[in-house]
Structure formats: structure tokens, C-alpha cells
């Protein structure tokens, strides 16, 4: 590919995405449909900017799916995964099994041989991980019951691809034909040919060794490596390390004939406990997003509209038939697993399509002469169109079906989201943040901690704290720390400018978050108040006040009086703080800082003098009563 | 409807999260028009009561309610502190202290022990009215009218949500009636406890039109 050609292509893809996705989002169609439509428009049946090479782009972009599974794994602690074993094996297994059987029977009835029918059944049982997860994430439905169930089924399918790939050659009509395999299309699924020179047990040993290697390395090796890299404080090297990790696993998986998607998923799960998880997430995320987008565009571009024009009735029947059959099976299974009706509908709508695995598996089946081209071509078109149908079905579900349920469902009493994200994010876990965090955790409130000093993290983790590496003034890191779901953000780092940056950033992007900010001094406090921090605490105020109280006590003031005097002083001082914060910001900004501080102090001393000189507690002062009593005697 | 009274509920419970009855009661009157609920433990966790603010609150209301659990035959410490600080000489009592004159005062309390515990033969030996005498006298010294108390007794035995709901409903009704002046004041003054004969005290909207 010449440079010019590459840039031109990149330009076309990016332009298509940049134009169509925002429009689709604005129209409420979701980004996935936007990408797919962009693909159709620039594809061979639209403007024709993308021709046959679209196929290669599709295979390259499948890497986005691999990255997505890595990220999904990162979100999923091993314990959580273990808790999901029932839905994964039960629901996922039944979905694949039942769908394969029913689609197979339909194929048999249409006059295909049993081998072909079985192959088609298995292939069409797959749903689209990319589309479903992307759509559910975008609508923030991943944490609902339906979202979790969908994920369980998709995960099972990802695993099921491996035995299906092994099984397909056995279904070949002429089994003596040598297995030919185009290796360029095998990023997503495994490449069984790669290791076929080994005997079965060697192969099994190799597979187990590789998986074991990933787990052991992820648990014990990656932490020191990440720490070493993080200590360099070079952001791009960290990104490079993250990419290297994912690509390395992909290569290793291909080598031993396993699905890279599965491999990176496992690696993700292993690293889910790692303190660098959020950093990894935010580094990989943009790559994943772009590649997935590219993938969707490529799917859109690959839809064969010639077939649709030639046999519109056949293709449309197949698309609708596929969606209906899968929908019904999913719905019945959901019922069987006691899913609540509205969730069950969401679950069934979400997964009622063919998936990207189908492309790989169909071309694999074709090469192995399991299926003739006359069968695969319309089916590939069907799968692609059914993928396009999904966002539309989700919109239908959103706008027409779900509103019927919202009225009848009672408000839940309390959040019972079984969630690995915490309600509190504490940015900076040094001298200040630690006290906040310890108090919260001593009272059973879980917090996600962000810290950018590797030495500090190491120490804290040794004592069993969950601390993540990262600079909280980065929006993507806040995102992956769960700022969307969290209720509070405690900004406890020591750099005043950075604190202000975070407050501004969080206020802009997460307006629901209550922001508690550490203020270094009075001036800083004004700035924070003006920029919408909900709670500010001057870092030295509390302790200085306590010291003042002790001084009063040593001077002979009774403890309780000293305590109350400090309380009154605090109240008065804080009121003055807020008043002065709302004074004209422009005017104060013009005066030099040191002069300002002096003026502030003068103003404070003046008002202390005016307002604090009267008796603190008049009620306990009985002089007035005494006066009155003596007056009566007279 | 009669003229509307403004009601201030001074609520004191140091561990509301553990209370059941008081939570029900307070929830029942939340959001009512012309009823101000002032949660003292929530407002002053350090007991640093803002006297000026509290006095202004008193001035802008006609009926003052002390709602609290009955601790050691009195209120939780916060409410005592509040009395010590807010009911200043020269404001609430004394020659110049007429700020509360003519207002009405109501105790709304919950007791763990049942009715039978609060009599000569019971383990508390005195009736609720007797034990509430310091509050009654406080009201009288401030020249307020002391109303018969609203008392929920035997809270340790209250388990059923329906029982709790009944008391909450009674509380809401009486607070609303006090607010709307839909009260047979003569009858009310004859009661030992406010909530034993609610139906006789509260005028329905029809009868109140003819009062």
C-alpha cells in the first residue's frame, strides 16, 4: 500500500466516522448504527471509496474486538467471574445449543444435508459481541440483569468458537480434502492449523502452558514491570507497554491455536486486581474505540447489496427469520432463568443477531468445503444485515417496549447494584487523602483510590489497600475510575493548580458528582468555591484551630469555653470565607497576591474584632438576671 | 378552614438511623405546608447551636413542637442544650422576655415502656403528664399555652408496620389540624394525651365551617 493510498484511505474512514456518528447519535440511533451506515455509504455499493480491500480492513479491525474483551476482562475481578459461572455455562450453553439445534432443524427442513445444517446452526448461534457490548455500554445497561446475562452468553460464545472451529473440518462433505486456511482472517478466532503439526496431547499441554503462563505472568510479573514503567513517568511508554501486552497475547494465542479474544480476556481478568488497571483501561480504550469503529464501518462496507437487490425476498426473509428465531429462543431461556419481563425483553432484543464470528466461521467453512458458496454468500449478507438491525431493535425496545414497564415498576428502596465500582473516588492518597479514606473505610464506605506516586502505592498495597496508579487530572482516568457511577469525588492531592484543574474537569464532565476539595490556603479556597466545589476544607485550618484551643486552655480558659470559642470562631471564619469568595473575582485578580493576602488578613482581623468580642454564650451569663433580682429587692 | 398556624417541629434524635417510630413520625409530616421540621442533631453535630438563628425561627412560628424520644424522663441532651441557650432571659422570659407569649407548645414523644409502666403501680411510678412537668412549666414561664402531649408508648413492642403507620397517620392528622386550626380547643384542653381521642378533638372540614 503506498503512503498516499494509506492516507487517503484513513482520511475516507475517519471522515465517514466523524460525519456519520455524531449525526446518528443526535438522531438517537447510537454510534454503532452510525458506523455501520458510514460503512455502507463509503462501501462498494455506496460511493465506492472502499473496494475489495475492505475485507482486509475488516480483519485488521477485528483486533478492536480483542481489545474490547481485554477491557471487559479488566472490569471483571476473578471472584466476580466465578460468581457468573452459572449464567455463563447454563444460559450461554443453552443459548448456543438450542439455537444451533433449532436453526439446524430449519435448515434440514429446507433440504440441506445434516452436516451443513449443523454447521449453519452453530455458526448462526453466535451473536455480535462487538455490537451488543458497545450498544449496552453506550446506554449504560451493562450493569442491569439483562446486561449481565447478555455478557454471560457472549462470553460463552467466545469460548465456544474454539471447539466449533475444531469441529467444522469434520463436517466437510469431502473429508479427504486438505484443510486450507487463509491465515489473514484469523485475528478474531483461533487458527487451528497453526499447531496442527503437534499431537493432541502436546497441543493440550501447549494450550494449558500458555494460559497458565498468562495467569502467572499477569499475577506476579506485570506488577513490578508496570511499576518500573510508571516510575519513568513517560506516559507514552506506559501506553506502549499496554499495547505490547495485548498484541503479545494475541500473537501467543494465535501460535497455540486459541482465540486471541479469549486470551486477552483472561489476561484482563487476571489484571483486574492490579493497581494499574485504571491506567491500562484508559490507555487501551481509545485504540479499542477507533478499531471497533473501523470494524463496524468495515462490516457496513462488506454488506453485499447485490444479493439484496437480486433476491430481496430471500434475504429479507432470512434476516427477519434469524432475528425472530433467536429472539424467541432468548426470550424463552430468559423466562426459564426467571428473568424479569422487561429485562428479559431487553436481553432478547440485544442478542437477536448474527455475530462477527459468523464471518470468520463461514469463510472457514467455505474453505473446508463444509458449505458451498451459494449457501454462505446469502447467509453472510444476512448476518451483516441482522447486525445492522440490532441497533434498530434496541431503539424499538427503548422507545416502544420499555416505556410500558417504567410505570409499573416501583422505585427500588436502595441501590443494590452488585458493583465493583465504589461510590467514592479519592484522588491523592497522601497525608490528606489517607485520613479521609481511613475514616470512610472505618465506617464501611468503599473508596477507589488514585495515586501517582509508585512508591506510595507499593506501601499501601502491602497493607491491603486498593490503590490505583494514575494522574486524576486526566479525564479518561476519572472515567475509568468510575466517576460516572460514583457519588463523591474527594480531591486530596497537594498541587493546588492541579486540584483546581480536577474540580473544573469533574464539574464539567460529571455534574452529578459532589466534589470535596482540599484547599491549600484562603486564596485557593476562593478559587475552588468559585469553580463549584461542593465542600472545601483548608488543609491547615482544622489543626491550627485545635492548636489555638489548646493554647487557650493552657492560658487558663476552661476547656469547654475554649472549645466553644473555637467553634464560634470557625463558624464566623467560614462565613467570611464564603462571602469573600463571592466578591468580585476580576477585581481581586488584579491585585498582587501578597498584597491581597495582607488585605484579606486586615479584613478578617477587622471583622473578628467587630463580631467576636461579644460574649460567646449569653445564655449562661446570669448577670442580667442578677441585676433584675437586685432591682426587685430594692 | 380556620386561620393557618405556622408550626415549628424541633426534632431531636441522636441516632435516627436506628429509630423506627420517630422515623415514621417525622416522615409523616415531611413536606406539609407551613410546617418546618428542624432536625437539631443534623444541624448541630458539634452542639454549637446558633442562638440568633433559633430565636428567629421561634419568632416566625405559632406552634412549637418538641419531638423526641423520652430519654431518662426528659429530652435527649441536644434539646436540653437548646433550651439552655435559646430560651434566653430577656427573650423567652423575664420582664422584657415576651417573644413567645401566646404561642402554643406541644410535646411529641415516644416511650419504650407501655402505658401500664407510667402509673403509681408501674415501674416508672409517675404518669407521663407528671414526668413532663418541667416542659409544661417551661412553656408556662414563657407564657405559652401547653397542649396535652402526643405520646407513642410501648415502642419496644411496636413491630407491625400497620401499628407504626397508624401512629404516623395520627401524628400527621393532628399536626395538620393544629395548622389549620381545625380543633375543638375546649375538648382538647380536657385531654390527658392528645392522641387518645383524636376524632373528638379534630373537627372535620364540614363542621369547622360552622365554628
User: What was the pLDDT predicted at B209?
Assistant: 45
Give A 375-394 residues with CB within 8 A of chain B: none
Q: A568 CB near a chain B CB, below 8 Å?
A: yes
pLDDT band with cut points at 50, 70 and 90 for residue A600: low
Residue A206 covered by a domain: no
* CB pair distance less than 8 Å for A620 and B90: no
A259 vs A191: CA distance, rounded Å? 8
* Chain A contact set for B85 (CB, 8 A): 617, 619-620
* CB pair distance less than 8 Å for B48 and A568: yes
pLDDT at A272 over 90: no
Neighbour tally for A285: CB within 10 Å: 18
Express as a percent the part of chain A with pLDDT over 70. Answer: 85
Q: Which of B121, B137, B134, B139 is CA-nearest to residue B65?
A: B139
Structural domain span for residue A533: 424-620
Cβ–Cβ under 8 Å, residues A451 and A467: yes
How far is A510 from chain B, CA to nearest CA, in Å? 28
CA distances from A176 to A114, A375, B128 (A): 18, 21, 99
Cβ–Cβ under 8 Å, residues A552 and A528: no
List pLDDT tens digits, range B166-208: 999 999 999 999 999 999 999 999 999 988 888 888 887 655 4
A219 vs A243: CA distance, rounded Å? 18
Pairwise pLDDT comparison (B67 vs A466), residue with the higher score: B67
Helix A235-256 crosses helix A277-302 at what angle (to 10 degrees)? Answer: 60
Do A501 and A558 lie in one domain? The reply is yes
Domain containing residue A507: CATH number = 3.40.50.720
List pLDDT tens digits, range A26-54: 877 778 888 888 888 888 887 877 766 66
Do A394 and A431 lie in one domain? The reply is no
**Residue where a domain terminates, one of A400, A432, A457:** A400
Do A457 and A329 lie in one domain? The reply is no
Do A19 and A95 lie in one domain? The reply is yes
Pairwise pLDDT comparison (A375 vs A419), residue with the higher score: A375
pLDDT at A324 over 60: yes
Residues 6+ apart with CB under 8 A from A78: A269, A270, A272, A273
Residue B138 covered by a domain: yes
Domain containing residue A65: CATH number = 1.20.1530.20
Q: Which residues of B163-197 are buried (b: 16+ CB within 10 A; e: fewer)?
A: bbeebbebbbbbbbbbbbbbbbeeebeebebbbee
Residue keyed to cell 438563628: B53
Q: What is the largest CA-CA distance in chain B?
A: 50
Residue B21 covered by a domain: yes
Q: Which residues of A231-250 are buried (b: 16+ CB within 10 A; e: fewer)?
A: eeeeeeebbebbeebbeebb
Query: How many domains is chain B built from?
Result: 1
* Chain B contact set for A571 (CB, 8 A): 48, 50
Collapsed DSSP state (helix, strand, coil) of residue A449: strand
Nearest chain A residue to B44 by CA distance is: A567
* CB pair distance less than 8 Å for B94 and A617: no
Q: A627 CB near a chain B CB, below 8 Å?
A: no
User: What was the pLDDT predicted at A249?
Assistant: 87
Would you give the distance in Å from CA A287 to the centre of its chain? Answer: 13
The kind and range of the H/E element at A467 are strand A467-469
Residue B96 covered by a domain: yes
Cβ–Cβ under 8 Å, residues B98 and B143: yes
How far is B83 from chain A, CA to nearest CA, in Å? 9
The number of helices, as runs of H, and strands, as runs of E, in chain A is 30, 6
CA distances from A342 to A133, A346, A397, A409 (A): 19, 6, 9, 10
DSSP per-residue string spanning A58-81: HHHHHHHHHHHHHHHHHTS-HHHH
pLDDT at A183 over 70: no
* CB pair distance less than 8 Å for B90 and A571: no
A403 vs B83: CA distance, rounded Å? 53
Do A445 and A553 lie in one domain? The reply is yes
Residue A296 covered by a domain: yes
* Chain A contact set for B88 (CB, 8 A): 618-619
Chain B contacts to A (CB-CB under 8 A)? 46, 48, 50-51, 84-90, 94-95
Query: How many domains is chain A built from?
Result: 2
Q: What is the CA radius of gyration of chain A?
A: 31
Do A367 and A459 lie in one domain? The reply is no
**Residue in A619, A625, A628 closest to B51 by CB:** A619
CB-count burial class (<10 Å; 0-12, 13-18, 19+) for B25:
buried
Residue A442 covered by a domain: yes
pLDDT at A411 over 80: no
CB-count burial class (<10 Å; 0-12, 13-18, 19+) for A606:
exposed
User: What was the pLDDT predicted at A414?
Assistant: 32
Cβ–Cβ under 8 Å, residues A454 and A469: yes
Rounded to two decimals, the ipTM of the complex is 0.73
Nearest chain B residue to A629 by CA distance is: B94
A7 vs A600: CA distance, rounded Å? 59
The kind and range of the H/E element at A468 are strand A467-469
List pLDDT tens digits, range A85-103: 888 888 999 999 999 999 9
Residue keyed to cell 476482562: A73
B115 vs B153: CA distance, rounded Å? 6
Do A101 and A148 lie in one domain? The reply is yes
Q: What is the CA radius of gyration of chain B?
A: 17
B207 vs B204: CA distance, rounded Å? 6
Do A311 and A429 lie in one domain? The reply is no
Sign of CA dihedral B97, B99, B101, B105: negative
* CB pair distance less than 8 Å for B48 and A625: no
pLDDT at A335 over 80: yes
Domain containing residue B80: CATH number = 3.40.50.360
How far is A32 from chain B, CA to nearest CA, in Å? 45
* CB pair distance less than 8 Å for B88 and A619: yes
List pLDDT tens digits, range B33-87: 999 999 999 999 988 888 889 999 999 999 999 999 999 999 999 999 999 999 9
Give the phi and the psi of residue A188 in degrees, each rounded to 5: -70, -50
Neighbour tally for A570: CB within 10 Å: 16
* CB pair distance less than 8 Å for A624 and B90: yes
* CB pair distance less than 8 Å for B89 and A624: yes
pTM to 2 decimals?
0.58
B207 vs B194: CA distance, rounded Å? 20
Cβ–Cβ under 8 Å, residues A130 and A296: yes
Do A21 and A86 lie in one domain? The reply is yes
How far is B88 from chain A, CA to nearest CA, in Å? 5
pLDDT band with cut points at 50, 70 and 90 for residue B105: very high
Mean pLDDT of chain A: 80
Residue A40 covered by a domain: yes
Residue A216 covered by a domain: no
* Chain B contact set for A620 (CB, 8 A): 84-85
* Chain A contact set for B94 (CB, 8 A): 624-625, 628
Residue B2 covered by a domain: no
A225 vs A216: CA distance, rounded Å? 14
Do A11 and A113 lie in one domain? The reply is yes
**Residue in A567, A620, A622 closest to B48 by CB:** A567
The kind and range of the H/E element at B81 are helix B77-86
Nearest chain B residue to A626 by CA distance is: B89
Residue A581 covered by a domain: yes
pLDDT at A222 over 90: no
Residue A121 covered by a domain: yes
Q: Which of A342-346, A383-387, A453-457, A504-508 has the lowest mean pLDDT?
A: A453-457
* Chain A contact set for B89 (CB, 8 A): 619, 622, 624-625, 628
Do A389 and A457 lie in one domain? The reply is no
How far is A567 from chain B, CA to nearest CA, in Å? 7
DSSP per-residue string spanning A293-334: HHHHHHHHHH--HHHHHHSHHHHHHHHHHHHHHHHHHHHHHH
User: What was the pLDDT predicted at A131?
Assistant: 85
Q: A624 CB near a chain B CB, below 8 Å?
A: yes
Cβ–Cβ under 8 Å, residues A325 and A127: no
Residue B169 covered by a domain: yes
Q: Which residues of B100-127 are buried (b: 16+ CB within 10 A; e: fewer)?
A: beebbbbbbbbbebeeebbeeeeebeee
* CB pair distance less than 8 Å for A619 and B46: no
Do A139 and A15 lie in one domain? The reply is yes
Residue A160 covered by a domain: yes
Range of A226-230, A444-448, A557-561, B86-90 with top mean pLDDT:
B86-90
Structural domain span for residue B191: 7-210
Cβ–Cβ under 8 Å, residues A245 and A142: no
User: What was the pLDDT predicted at B141?
Assistant: 95
Sign of CA dihedral A469, A470, A475, A476: negative
Residues 6+ apart with CB under 8 A from B150: B106, B107, B108, B109, B170, B171, B174, B193, B194, B195
* CB pair distance less than 8 Å for B85 and A628: no
Nearest chain A residue to B86 by CA distance is: A619
The kind and range of the H/E element at B83 are helix B77-86
Amino acid at each position: 500500500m503506498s503512503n498516499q493510498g494509506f492516507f487517503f484511505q484513513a482520511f475516507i474512514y475517519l471522515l465517514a466516522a466523524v460525519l456519520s456518528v455524531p449525526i446518528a447519535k443526535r438522531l438517537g440511533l447510537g454510534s454503532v448504527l452510525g458506523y455501520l451506515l458510514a460503512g455502507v455509504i463509503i462501501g462498494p455499493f455506496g460511493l465506492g471509496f472502499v473496494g475489495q480491500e475492505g475485507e482486509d480492513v475488516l480483519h485488521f479491525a477485528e483486533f478492536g474486538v480483542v481489545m474490547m474483551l481485554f477491557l471487559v476482562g479488566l472490569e471483571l475481578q476473578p471472584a466476580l467471574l466465578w460468581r457468573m459461572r452459572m449464567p455463563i455455562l447454563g444460559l450461554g450453553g443453552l443459548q448456543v445449543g438450542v439455537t444451533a439445534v433449532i436453526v439446524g432443524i430449519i435448515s434440514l427442513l429446507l433440504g440441506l444435508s445434516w452436516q451443513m445444517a449443523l454447521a449453519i446452526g452453530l455458526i448462526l448461534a453466535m451473536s455480535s459481541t462487538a455490537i451488543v457490548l458497545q450498544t449496552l455500554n453506550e446506554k449504560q445497561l451493562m450493569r442491569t440483569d439483562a446486561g449481565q446475562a447478555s455478557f454471560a452468553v457472549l462470553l460463552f460464545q467466545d469460548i465456544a468458537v474454539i471447539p466449533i472451529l475444531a469441529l467444522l473440518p469434520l463436517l466437510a462433505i469431502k473429508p479427504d480434502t486438505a484443510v486450507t486456511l487463509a491465515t489473514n482472517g484469523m485475528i478474531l478466532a483461533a487458527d487451528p492449523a497453526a499447531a496442527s503439526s503437534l499431537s493432541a496431547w502436546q497441543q493440550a499441554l501447549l494450550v494449558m502452558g500458555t494460559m497458565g503462563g498468562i495467569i502467572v505472568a499477569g499475577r506476579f510479573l506485570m506488577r513490578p514491570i508496570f511499576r518500573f514503567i510508571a516510575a519513568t513517568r513517560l506516559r507514552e511508554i506506559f501506553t506502549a507497554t499496554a499495547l505490547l501486552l495485548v498484541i503479545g497475547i494475541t500473537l501467543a494465542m494465535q501460535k497455540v491455536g486459541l482465540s486471541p479474544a479469549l486470551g486477552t480476556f483472561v489476561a484482563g481478568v487476571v489484571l483486574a486486581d492490579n493497581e494499574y488497571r485504571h491506567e491500562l483501561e484508559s490507555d487501551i480504550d481509545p485504540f479499542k474505540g477507533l478499531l471497533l469503529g473501523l470494524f463496524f464501518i468495515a462490516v457496513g462496507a462488506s454488506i453485499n447489496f447485490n444479493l439484496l437487490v437480486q433476491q430481496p425476498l430471500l434475504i429479507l426473509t432470512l434476516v427477519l427469520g434469524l432475528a425472530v428465531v433467536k429472539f424467541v429462543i432468548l426470550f424463552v431461556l430468559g423466562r426459564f432463568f426467571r428473568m424479569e419481563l422487561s429485562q428479559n425483553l431487553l436481553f432478547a432484543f440485544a442478542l437477536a443477531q448474527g455475530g462477527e464470528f459468523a464471518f470468520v466461521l463461514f469463510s472457514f467453512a467455505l474453505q473446508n468445503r463444509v458449505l458451498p458458496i451459494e449457501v454462505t454468500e446469502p447467509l453472510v449478507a444476512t448476518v451483516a444485515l441482522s447486525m445492522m438491525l440490532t441497533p434498530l431493535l434496541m431503539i424499538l425496545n427503548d422507545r416502544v417496549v420499555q416505556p410500558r414497564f417504567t410505570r409499573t415498576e416501583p422505585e427500588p428502596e436502595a441501590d443494590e447494584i452488585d458493583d465493583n465500582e465504589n461510590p467514592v473516588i479519592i484522588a491523592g492518597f497522601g497525608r490528606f487523602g489517607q485520613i479521609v479514606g481511613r475514616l470512610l473505610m472505618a465506617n464501611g464506605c468503599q473508596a477507589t483510590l488514585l495515586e501517582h506516586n509508585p512508591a506510595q502505592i507499593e506501601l499501601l498495597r502491602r497493607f491491603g489497600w486498593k490503590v490505583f496508579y494514575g494522574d486524576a487530572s486526566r479525564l479518561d482516568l476519572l472515567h475509568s475510575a468510575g466517576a460516572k457511577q460514583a457519588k463523591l469525588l474527594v480531591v486530596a492531592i497537594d498541587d493546588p493548580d492541579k486540584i483546581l484543574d480536577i474540580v473544573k474537569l469533574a464539574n464539567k464532565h460529571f455534574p452529578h458528582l459532589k466534589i470535596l476539595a482540599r484547599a491549600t490556603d484562603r486564596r485557593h479556597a476562593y478559587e475552588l468555591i468559585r469553580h463549584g466545589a461542593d465542600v472545601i476544607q483548608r488543609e491547615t485550618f482544622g489543626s491550627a484551630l485545635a492548636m489555638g484551643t489548646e493554647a487557650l486552655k493552657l492560658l487558663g480558659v476552661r476547656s469547654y469555653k475554649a472549645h466553644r470559642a473555637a467553634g464560634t470562631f470557625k463558624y464566623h471564619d467560614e462565613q467570611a470565607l464564603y462571602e469573600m469568595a463571592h466578591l468580585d473575582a476580576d477585581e481581586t485578580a488584579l491585585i498582587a497576591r501578597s498584597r491581597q493576602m495582607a488585605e484579606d488578613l486586615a479584613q478578617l482581623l477587622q471583622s473578628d474584632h467587630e463580631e467576636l468580642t461579644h460574649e460567646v454564650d449569653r445564655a449562661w451569663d446570669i448577670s442580667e438576671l442578677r441585676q433584675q433580682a437586685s432591682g426587685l429587692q430594692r | 378552614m380556620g386561620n393557618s398556624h405556622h408550626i415549628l417541629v424541633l426534632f431531636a434524635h441522636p441516632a435516627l438511623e436506628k429509630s423506627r417510630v420517630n422515623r415514621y413520625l417525622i416522615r409523616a409530616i415531611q413536606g406539609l405546608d407551613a410546617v418546618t421540621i428542624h432536625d437539631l442533631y443534623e444541624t448541630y453535630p458539634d452542639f454549637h447551636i446558633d442562638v440568633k438563628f433559633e430565636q428567629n425561627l421561634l419568632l416566625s412560628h405559632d406552634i412549637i413542637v418538641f419531638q423526641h424520644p423520652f430519654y431518662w424522663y426528659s429530652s435527649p441532651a441536644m434539646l436540653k442544650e437548646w433550651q439552655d441557650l435559646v430560651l434566653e432571659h430577656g427573650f423567652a422570659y423575664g420582664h422584657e422576655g415576651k417573644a413567645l407569649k401566646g404561642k402554643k407548645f406541644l410535646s411529641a414523644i415516644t416511650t419504650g415502656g407501655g402505658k401500664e409502666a407510667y402509673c403509681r403501680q408501674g415501674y416508672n411510678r409517675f404518669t407521663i403528664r407528671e414526668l413532663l412537668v418541667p416542659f409544661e412549666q417551661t412553656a408556662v414561664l414563657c407564657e405559652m399555652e401547653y397542649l396535652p402531649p402526643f405520646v407513642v408508648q410501648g415502642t419496644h413492642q411496636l413491630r407491625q408496620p400497620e401499628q407504626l403507620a397508624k401512629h404516623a397517620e395520627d401524628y400527621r392528622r393532628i399536626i395538620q389540624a393544629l395548622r389549620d386550626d381545625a380543633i375543638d380547643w375546649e375538648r382538647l384542653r380536657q385531654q390527658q394525651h392528645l392522641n387518645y381521642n383524636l376524632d373528638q378533638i379534630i373537627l372535620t372540614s364540614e363542621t369547622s365551617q360552622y365554628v
